[in-house]
């Protein structure tokens, strides 16, 4: 049984910051992110996520990476959009953490890269 409607789905994200990702929502609250920018040479990792679903197809997806990068996505699946708030270590900022905010389109896709038009519910 799926733990949330995104489990087993794939998404593409193109942030206004220039970062671009393929996101695979795996079983057991796992997420694989893979950079799809050429300059990142396919950087990828699997993260344990905390995910909450809200009315209207809104999801809050949060994780902490090995290097301490904290990532929080607010995904609006109805409008195919995501906003991200991240923090990372930087002693020059309050609390030793630098914030980074970006946003952009969130598109569910199939394995072949075509749009995934199957409803979440």
Where are the chain's structural domains? 8-107
Structure tokens at 14: 């193109």
Name the one residue in this structure whose structure tokens are 């809104």. Answer: 58
pLDDT surpassing 90 at residue 65: yes
| Phi and psi angles of residue 59, each rounded to the nearest 5 degrees, phi first | -130, 140
User: Which pLDDT score is estimated for 88?
Assistant: 95
- Contacts for 115 with CB less than 8 Å, ≥ 6 apart: 107, 108, 109
pLDDT above 70 covers a percentage of the chain that reads 99
Global confidence as pTM: 0.93
Residue that the structure tokens 């630098």 belong to: 98
Would you state the pLDDT for residue 42? 86
- The chain-wide mean pLDDT, for the chain, equals 96
Is it the case that residue 14 has pLDDT exceeding 90?
A: yes
Residue 1 pLDDT > 80: no
6, burial (CB in 10 Å: exposed 0-12, middle 13-18, buried 19+): buried
With a cut of 80, say whether residue 101 has pLDDT above it: yes
Q: Under CATH, which architecture does the 8-107 domain have?
A: Beta Barrel (2.40)
Asked if the model's pLDDT at residue 110 lies above 90, the reply is yes
């Amino acid at each position: 049984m799926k733990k949330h409607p995104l489990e087993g789905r794939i998404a593409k994200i193109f942030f206004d910051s220039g970062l671009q990702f393929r996101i695979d929502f795996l079983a057991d609250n796992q997420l694989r992110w893979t950079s799809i920018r050429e300059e990142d040479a396919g950087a990828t990792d699997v993260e344990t996520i905390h995910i909450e679903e809200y009315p209207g197809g809104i999801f809050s997806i949060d994780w902490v990476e090995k290097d301490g990068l904290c990532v929080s996505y607010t995904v609006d699946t109805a409008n195919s959009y995501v906003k991200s708030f991240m923090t990372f270590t930087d002693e020059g900022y309050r609390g030793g953490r630098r914030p980074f905010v970006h946003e952009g389109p969130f598109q569910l896709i199939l394995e072949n890269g075509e749009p995934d038009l199957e409803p979440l519910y």
